[in-house]
Amino acid sequence: MENVIMVGCDAHSENLLLMCALGKGAADKVEYSNTKAGRKALIAHLKSQATREGATRIVMAYEASSLGFGLYDELKEAGIECHVLAPTKMESSPQQRKTKTDERDAKKILEIIRGHILAGNEMPSVWVPDPETRDDREVVRARLDVADKLSAVKIQIQSLLKRNSLRRPEKLKSAWTQKHVAWLEGLTHNDSGLGFGTVEALKTLLHQKTALEMEVAQLDEALIALSETLRYAEPVRALLKEYGVGLMAALVFLAELGDLSRFSNRREIGAYLGVVPSSYESGENSDKKGHITRQGPGRIRKVLCQSAWAIIRGGNAEERSAYARVVGRNPKHKKIGVVALMRRLGIRMWHIGLEAQKKSRCFKVAA
């Protein structure tokens, strides 16, 4: 068997703690700062150790986190095999969670690598998106984030009105129209009868609302520009033909999933989206199904839910019939029907998007 240097890394914003071992040998602890110079020294150390030990391969792994994939990129460029592990797929007992240290975390990752290299165990790795996909995600996620903040501000305004026993006039049938906003702004005048603190609070909330709406408009323009690029033009155009799928839903789906050819079938895509039931089977007990797993990106489930409700309110007859059948079996659990539509829609979007990606050749997808 070839000599392999295996490295478990516990990565933080300030430092990188490594547990390094050659094959089944004892592990050595090494620590570097998580800076450009520190990572350069880390790579030099591993290569020097490989030369000294006569190793033909270096395999390193660390957990996925908010640090992103910069370390992965640098290691890959240096010729070091790197895996980014999914924390949710790494088993951990209650006792281990109570005695958690950086060194133990790094050693745990080292043992996962050993199991993979020496015994052929499956590595709980995540798919690492290419730099362009990562960059596209930033603007899509920013748009979702700003929309959430805008919704939160509107809720704050409504709560402020409730605390002061104020109701929208009956002539204003809809909320957040121009007339409704004009009425709200009128409440900030001195003759509104509201207290000083309430007026000032309402003013700042209305200012926040205006600023966030401007951000939404600006990001919407950016999303339109993104949808017209070579990578997204064909897939977005194809997905928009699906009832209930708008530009936002299409771009969230494509940016979060990236290369759709990495999924082999509908079961894989359904499991990845987290819209399949969880299961529990032990001994003689039969397999018990529970709530959906909620694994994978929650952003996709959010837009799938919005699209599913659009379908329920006015989609094609086939999808509405599917929803009605599920609800008929579970009259008190209509959410089950919504989730069923989300799963069906997600699978259809995967098929449609995959075919469009093949035509546009924006990814190296299989023919």
**What letter would DSSP give residue 35?**
S
Report the C-alpha gap between 84 and 64 in whole angstroms: 6
CA-to-CA distance for 305 and 9, rounded, in angstroms?
37
Question: What does each of the 367 residues of the chain score in pLDDT, given as a tens digit?
Answer: 578 999 999 999 999 999 999 988 999 999 999 999 999 999 999 999 999 999 999 999 999 999 999 999 999 999 999 999 999 888 887 888 788 899 999 999 999 999 999 999 999 999 999 999 999 999 999 999 999 999 999 999 999 999 999 999 989 989 999 999 999 999 998 777 889 999 999 999 999 999 999 999 999 999 999 999 999 999 999 999 999 999 999 999 999 999 999 999 999 999 999 998 887 777 666 666 778 888 889 999 999 999 999 999 987 888 888 899 989 988 888 899 999 999 999 999 999 999 999 988 877 644 3
For residue 124 the two structure tokens come to 């709980």
- Joined tokens for residue 125: 């790795």
Look at the chain and count its residues: 367
Domains for the chain: give ranges and CATH numbers.
4-119 (3.30.420.40), 131-227 (no CATH), 233-360 (no CATH)
